[in-house]
A = this chain, B = another copy of it.
Amino acid sequence: MYKKEISKAVINRLPRYYRYLGDLLEKDVVRISSKELSEKMKVTASQIRQDLNNFGGFGQQGYGYNVEYLHSEIGKILGLDTKYNMIIIGAGNLGQALANYVDFERRGFYVKALFDVSPKLIGQEVRGNIIKSADELEDYIKNNKVDIVAITVPKAKAPQLAADLVKWGIKGIWNFAPTDLNLPKDVTVENVHLAESLMKLSYRLSGKDDMRD
């Protein structure tokens, strides 16, 4: 499969292409040159051509790109033509924020259930989902198709939870706990480490001496 050869840097840019093309579609833009796309995205036109050539091109000399076609093709490359069932473990503010993102659904990610250990949260409703007790998690996973598990539990609880999820057959984890999970190779993990993102911001801010105290 061609996917194996694509560099991580290209993959990291694809969701951005997808988002920009989606914005253009909403504005009824039919086609766009790599030059215009480049100005919008602040990536060089040749970089865009190179990136898209990885997947066979999609552009036509002198015509540019057909926005709808390119959007849909990149969507397929990103696996967005599939429907994913997602559950969220940890139904605090962050878990509830994720459950409330309508945009995820538009892209094929459906939040099917939320779980928590807190009696205060269990039984509450979040966008049509009643928060379940974490005690029901194993049964739920064994009896339902679950493609992605979002983990928004405290750091100390994440490793054991992840190990259990793997044991129960989960192959996709979206991890918000501030720790790296050691998982088998056939399990895909995407980390969102918020504190690290904030540190990158402070690194760049601290380089500007006028920002210092």
Contacts and interface: CB of A to CB of B under 8 A. Distances in A.
Interface in A134-166: 147-148
A68 to B, nearest CB: 18
A146 to B, nearest CB: 11
A97 B78 CA distance: 28
Interface residues of A, number: 65
Contacts of A96: 93
Contacts of A188: 201, 204-205, 208
Nearest to A109: B198
Contact of A195 (B82, B103, B208): B103
A167 interface: no
Contacts of A192: 192, 194, 197
14 contacts: A15-B197, A19-B196, A41-B180, A42-B180, A79-B205, A80-B199, A82-B213, A97-B97, A103-B195, A107-B199, A171-B205, A172-B205, A188-B205, A190-B204
B211 A171 contact: yes
Interface string A2-30: 01100000011011101100010000000
B104 A14 contact: no
B82 A200 contact: no
Contacts of A77: 203
A132 B183 CA distance: 43
A104 B178 CA distance: 11
B203 A83 contact: no
Contacts of A93: 93-94, 96-97, 100
A192 B94 CA distance: 14
B78 A178 contact: no
B92 A199 contact: no
